[in-house]
Structures are given as C-alpha cells and as structure tokens.
Amino acid sequence: MRQDQFILGVIVSNHFGVLTRVSGLFSRRGYNIDSLNVSETEDPKFSRMTILVTGDDYIKNQVVKQLSKLRDVKRVELLPADSTVLREHMLIKLDTKGHSVTEVTEAANIFRAKVIDFNADSVTIEMTGESSKLDAFINYAKTFGIIEMCRAGALAVKRGPGALNGEYFED
Amino acid sequence: MLLTGAEIIIETLIEQGCDTVFGYPGGFVLNIYDELYKNSDRINHIITAHEQGAAHAADGYARASGKVGVVIATSGPGVTNLVTGIATAFLDSTPIVAITGNVPLSMLGRDSFQEVDSTGITMPITKHNYIVKDVKDLANIIREAFVVAKSGRPGPVLVDVPKDIQLAKCEFEPSEMLEAEPKRTVSDNFLSKCADMINASKRPYIYCGGGAIAADASEEIKALSLKLNAPIGLSIMGLSAIPQDFPNWLGMMGMHGRYSSTKANYEADLIIALGVRFSDRATGDKSKFKRDSRIIHIDIDPAELNKNIDSCISAAGDIKNAVARLLNLVEEKDRTEWIDRIKEIKAEEQQQIAARENGRLTPQKVIAELQKHTDKDTIVVTDVGQHQMWTAQSYKFYKPRTLLTSGGLGTMGFGMGAAIGGCIARGRKRTVLFTGDGSFGMNLTELATAVSQNLPLTIVIMNNGVLGMVRQWQTLFFGKRYSNTTLERKTDFVRLAEAFGATGIRVSESGDLETAMKKAFDTDGTVVIDCKIDMDENVYPMIPAGGTIEDIIVN
C-alpha cells in the first residue's frame, strides 16, 4: 500500500512517563516515528506532541486508534497536510576555513536564517521553516562542511481559528 | 480520618467491592500485609506458592466472577513473577488490579535491593499503570485502577506503591464503589446498514468471541441467531457464551476448531462478528479468510476494527445493546437451504469423528467420562496445548464464564492458578482443570495452595510424556525430528499428588476410566487424575498456520 507521511497533533497529560507510553506504543507495534516533538501547553496540565509518521492507511488508522486508547492521551488528530502550518527548527555549525564568511551569511540571508555564533573558523546558523527548506540549506551547506547540526522535530497547527478536536479517525 | 497508605489500600480495596485478594508477601509490602492481618475478617487473602500463581488466580477469579481480580506482590522479583500473569490477562481482556510494593521514593532509580522499574516493565501489558508518589493521590489512584480495569474492553492495571507511601499518613475520605465508565453505543444508521446486509444474506454466520461474554450478550445473540436462522461459530474466548445444546451452535472455529464451524464460516456469505478480534489462530490465511463473504464487525474496542481483518462495515460499541436493537431491524427468515447445508456439514463432521475412534484411552473419552460428574455451572479450566484444544473441541459448555483458558497469550502454567481463583470465585465449588504433563510441570507447586485451602479441584493430567502440541507440529511439519519434546521424566504424578497432600489416581486404560472418575468425584479436596494418553494422539482437525479450509487435516 502507498506510504505517506502524516502529521499527528496529540494532547497528553503533562506528567512523567507519558512520552515513554507514546513512544513505546510506536515501537512495539512496529510504526516508525519520523519526528516527535513534545512540550507543555498554555495549560500546564497538558503537553502537546507533534508526531510525524510514515505509513500506509492501515498504520495511519491504527496509530490514531491505539493512541486514543492510552489513558494519558486526551486528544488525537490527524492534521491535514494542505491546511496545516508545519515548521521545523535547526541549529547548524559550518566550517568556514578556506571560505569567505560573507558567502555563508549571504546564503543565510537568502534562506531567512540567522547567524547566531561566529568565529574565525566557523559560523553557527539558526533556521526555521518547512522541512524542505531545511533540507535544501543542509544540502547547500555541505559545500562548506557541516561540523555539527541539530534539528528539532516538526511543530504543526491547523490553519484557521480551530484547535485540536480529537475525533476518532473514521472507519 | 487520618490513615496510613497501607490502611488506605485496604479501605479502598474493600470500598471498591474486593473481598478476596491473591498474593505473596515480601519486604516492600510488609505494611500492606500487616493491614491484611488486622483486617482478615473483612478481606480474605490467599497465599500462593509463587507470584505467577497469584496473578493467574486473580485472573481466574475475574474470569469466573466477572468482578475485578486483585493480586498483591512485593517489588523486584515479586513484580517480574507477575508479568506472565498480567500479560495473560491483557491478551484475554480480563480485569485485574495488581498492587505492588516498591523501594522508598528516595531509593528509586539507584538499583536498590529488590528494585525494578515496575511500571516500565508492565507498561506494554497493562491498560494503564501508576506509581504513587504522594500518599494524597493513593486512594483515588486505586479507585481509578478499578474503573480502568473494568471499563470498555477490560484489562489489567498495576499500581506501584513505594514503601514510604505505604507508611505516610493522610486524611482519608471514604467513597462508594465506582461503576465502570458508560459504554459507547453504535449508531442507528450503522444498525440499519447492518440490517440491510443481513436481510439480503442467504448464508449468514454469527461469529462471537470473548467480547460477548464480557458484554453479557449471550441471550441477545441467541435470539438473533434464531430469528435469522444463522449458525453461531465461536472463538476459544467466546466458547462458553453459547450453550452447546443450542440448535444453531457450531462450536469453536479456526486452527483446531470444529470442522463444521470452520467450514460453515468459509461457506457463509455474511459474517456477523461480535466481540472478536480475528486472531490468527481463528482466521488462518487472512487474505483468503474473507473470500466472497461480507463482514460486519462490532466490538467495544475501536482499535480492533479493521486491525486484523478488513470488514465491510464496523462500529465500536456495546454488543448487548447493539444486538438487542438490531433484533428489531432484521427480518425473520427460514433460510432452509443454508440450514440444510449446515446439517450436511455436521454429518460429514460426525463421520470424521467416528473414523478417529479407536480402542485407546483417548482424551475425548476422558473428557466425556468426566462430564458425567459435572453440572452446567462447573468451572472448567485448561492449561495450554493439546489438552486445551481437546477440551475446547469436546467438553460441552452451557453457561458463560464456565471455561477459563489462556486463549491469547497461550500461557502454559496458567491452569493451576486460574483453577484456584475460579474455584474461590464460585464459592469453592468443585472445579475441573484439564492440563498436560508439560503445562502442569510449570506451576504444579500451586498444588500446595489448593491443598492448604482445601479446594475441591479435580485436576486431569493428559499425560503423554511429550510436549504434545509442539510434537504434533514436529510430526507434521518438521519431518518427525522430535527436538526436546520427548520429556522422559520419571515424575510419578500420583505420588507427587500425595506428597502435596492431595489424592492421586492413575488411569492407564480406557476400561479403568469409569471407576477412576467415580472415585475421583467421590473424594473430597484436591484430586489429581493421571491419565496415560498415547504420545501420537494428535489434535484434529487442524488447519496449518496461515492456511485455509482447503488445507484442513481431519485425520
């Protein structure tokens, strides 16, 4: 069956062990997490997870239903790719030895990224955007040499005024 | 009133309707056991020989009574010994609450003596689990544990209580016994679609499982079957849901199911699946299971819908309610052609059974002879293996909750603990355990519990000296290379029974069976009947794993 990436918005209780329950569910049922982000919401009782998963319709269906069964999971929703704002965040340190620094800063400007650390041999850049934009920059940065990088899991909210409604995925 | 954590545990257990707990004491549950001692007039504690036995006993108690079973164990090895029992309950959706002690909060995470990550270990085999870190939360966590265990699709819940929480004091407010959360119900629209499909069907087949027992839906399902003239096939977990003398009863379906039940399922044009999860043991080859038939699936757990088998239409909800409402929407039909076809299939089955008959002491003869001494309410427990399938195929069940068997996890060693729990749940009435020499060997130490409790257990060992089910596969699929299944043990089960203080009886030939069985049922207390079965006695019919009705082996 066709494999697609899908985006899950999940509201969970904000206490210890919840991340283990969620990630454990994925590993024991054999679903792959592409990325997972979790942090407290405006209400400290709850955290919000954004999970990107690749799978077919069967996995999509099961992930939502199995997550919904966890006591600590309060709401689960599949966020439609075409009406969801999705952002990733990245810190990337480039080797600038033998290159002009302006080359890097110009590239950063074109990608609307920020230089946040700078010295004779390296530049560290902070960047936010859709996954494809980050991928493109990483690709470009390889011409300099990437010393190290870290990339946060995607964050996603639906466009428009609505919040997660947590309906079960319909059969 | 100001109570300690240990006192709160006892008060909330009693308040939530628990009068019997199974367990085993240890260093980090001493305070709970001290309270059990002081409250022995209000709550009965059964000490087993091993924590695994206690977990199976709580499970058996829950299966037989429909109430939540409770088990208490200490930290570390106490918890790990519960694991198989909890997983067994999880796979068969049995409501149990396990209360475990742990090292004091300040000692957690330091690899202290008898410390394991109890909630971590049990996370994938419980509906939910808790570690109590503040005594003020304790009462409500135990109450919630009971609600979670019995709501929706039932299952096990573990509450881990560190020692300092058992000692700490806080104000305790009594509460009433909390009910299970209300069950979801299926929509009218869904039921009317079901009715359309059913009314159009020429060959409907009702397939029901453990969910029918959990939902107490037997009467509704029988009424539906009569109105539709639809036969009923069962999963092993649903076997006691429909009495075997019910006219449309076909019995267990699947790998070792009855021929008639599996065959009719394959010939049906509509399968009405109620409270089942389409286990691979029942379906065989999933891609061919559906064939041309359409499937309606109703289950309390939405995650079961389209998990193992794609249905045409499905909905999550209470089966009892759904079938009761469906009854008003479906048309009464004779379906004579289908009923006649079922009769033909049943006649074929009778011929196969007759062809298997020989002069030997067969498991079927043992089961039939035993059944002369039991009544419709007798609890029958099994272990796991050939004897389990023989029991499922030929013991006649009449009432829900009379068969306690490990269907999902297939836990050898389940039987002794479950029989103890089942027997106690049913007012210590005579309870039967069918086991094999392999399974019995795993937890036979629980004979000590049965004898010390003076429980009327009749334990039938189908003793063929081999691990028969695995051997059967080796016979059929591994060129008779009997790797490690020929036990060659010298255990004398009659003397073993006597050593434990039980009565032992040996049956070697079918001619001895009647007298031996009579003697067994004339004897009080725990009786072990060692039945010598031929090691080449196989379970038939059999559909090899991943096969279809085309692959069935009948003899």
User: Would you say B23 and B417 are in contact if contact means Cβ atoms under 8 Å apart?
Assistant: no
What is the model's pLDDT at position A166? 58
Is residue A169 one of the residues assigned to a domain?
A: no
Q: Nearest Cα to B450, choosing from B429, B419, B425, B426?
A: B419
Of the candidates A50, A79, A108, which is a domain's last residue? A79
CATH code assigned at B71: 3.40.50.970
Domains identified in chain A, total number: 2
Q: Is residue A163 part of a domain?
A: no
Instruction: Give the separation between CA A76 and CA B289, rounded to whole angstroms.
Output: 32
The alpha carbon of residue B54 and the mean position of all alpha carbons in its chain are separated, in whole angstroms, by 15
Of A61, A70, A72, the CB nearest to B306: A61
Note whether residue A170 is domain-resident.
Answer: no
Provide the shortest C-alpha distance from residue A78 to chain B (in Å): 16
Bond from prior residue into B541 cis (ω within 30 degrees of 0): yes
Residue B434 shares a structural domain with residue B379: yes
Q: What is the pLDDT along chain B (555 residues), one digit of tens a residue?
A: 999 999 999 999 999 999 999 999 999 999 999 999 999 999 999 999 999 999 999 999 999 999 999 999 999 999 999 999 999 999 999 999 999 999 999 999 999 999 999 999 999 999 999 999 999 999 999 999 999 999 999 999 999 999 999 999 999 999 999 999 999 999 999 999 999 999 999 999 999 999 999 999 999 999 999 999 999 999 999 999 999 999 999 999 999 999 999 999 999 999 999 999 999 888 888 888 877 779 999 999 999 999 998 888 999 999 999 999 999 999 999 999 999 999 999 999 999 988 887 788 999 999 999 999 999 999 999 999 999 999 999 999 999 999 999 999 999 999 999 999 999 999 999 999 999 999 999 999 999 999 999 999 999 999 999 999 999 999 999 999 999 999 989 999 999 999 999 999 999 999 999 999 999 999 999 999 999 999 999 999 999 888 888 889 887
Q: What is the DSSP letter of B180?
A: P
Same structural domain for residues A63 and A116? no
Residue A75 sits in a domain whose CATH number is 3.30.70.260
Residues sharing a CB contact under 8 Å with residue B143, sequence separation 6 or more, in sequence order:
B12, B15, B16, B175, B178
Selecting from B148, B301, B305 the residue whose C-beta is nearest the C-beta of A171 gives B305
- Contact across the interface for A17 and B119, Cβ inside 8 Å: yes
Residue B34 has phi, psi (to 5 degrees) of -65, -40
Looking at B51, B349, B369, B446, which residue is catalytic?
B51
**Residue in the block written with tokens 């709550």:** B43
Give the CA angle between residues B341, B344, B348 to the nearest 5°: 140
Looking at the structure, tell me whether residues A54 and A114 fall in a common domain: no
pTM of the model: 0.94
Residue at which a domain ends, from B347, B382, B415: B347
Residue A30 covered by a domain:
yes
Is residue B113 part of the annotated active site? The answer reads: yes
* B120 contacts A20? CB cut-off 8 A: yes
Element (H, E) at B2: strand B2-4
Beta strand B44-47 with B69-73 is unpaired
Write the DSSP string, B46-73.
EE-SSHHHHHHHHHHHHHHHSSPEEEEE
Rounded to the nearest 10°, the torsion over CA B125, B131, B136, B141 is: 0
Mutate: best of B128, B181, B190, partner A, most A CBs <10 A: B128
Alpha carbons B63 and B149: distance in angstroms, whole number: 13
Q: By the 8 A CB rule, do A113 and A126 touch?
A: yes
Are B259 and B215 members of one domain?
yes
Q: Which of B96, B422, B57, B437 is nearest to B240 (CA)?
A: B422
Do residue A39 and residue A66 come from a single domain?
A: yes
Give the range of the structural domain holding residue A127, as residue numbers without chain letter: 85-155
Same-domain check for residues B374 and B489: yes
Do A8 and A75 belong to one domain? Answer: yes
- Give the whole-angstrom CA distance, residue B380 versus residue A8: 46
In a domain, A103, yes or no: yes
What's the whole-number average pLDDT of chain B?
96
Answer yes or no: is B355 within a domain: no
B517 counts as catalytic: no
Nearest to B122 by CA among B150, B152, B151, B96: B96
Both B233 and B271 in one domain: the answer is yes
Has residue B544 been placed in a domain? no
Asked if B79 and B133 sit in the same domain, the reply is yes
Q: Which of B347, B379, B410 is the last residue of a domain?
A: B347
Q: Is residue B177 a part of any domain in this protein?
A: no
CB B122 within 8 A of CB B131: no
Q: Tell whether A71 is covered by a domain.
A: yes
Same domain, A17 and A42: yes
Q: Are residues A17 and A54 in the same domain?
A: yes
Q: How many domains does chain B have?
A: 3
How far is Cα A123 from Cα A144, in angstroms, rounded to an integer? Answer: 10
- Would you call B434 a catalytic residue per the annotation? no
Q: Which stretches of B130-187 are DSSP H helices?
A: 135-150, 163-167
Among the candidates B171, B201, B230, a domain finishes at B171
Choosing from B255, B442, B469, B535, the catalytic residue is: B469
CATH no. for residue A136? 3.30.70.1150
Task: Please give the residue range of the domain that contains residue B367.
Answer: 361-532
Is residue A166 domain-resident? no
Residues of A with Cβ-Cβ distance to B302 under 8 angstroms = 65, 68, 168
- A75 and A117 together in one domain: no
Residue B333 belongs to a domain: yes
Name the residue type at position A2: R
Q: Say whether both A108 and A141 belong to one domain.
A: yes
Query: Which residues from B are below 8 Å from A when comparing CB atoms?
Result: 119-120, 123-124, 127-128, 131, 148, 301-303, 305-307, 313-315
Rounded CA-CA distance B394/B368 in Å is 8
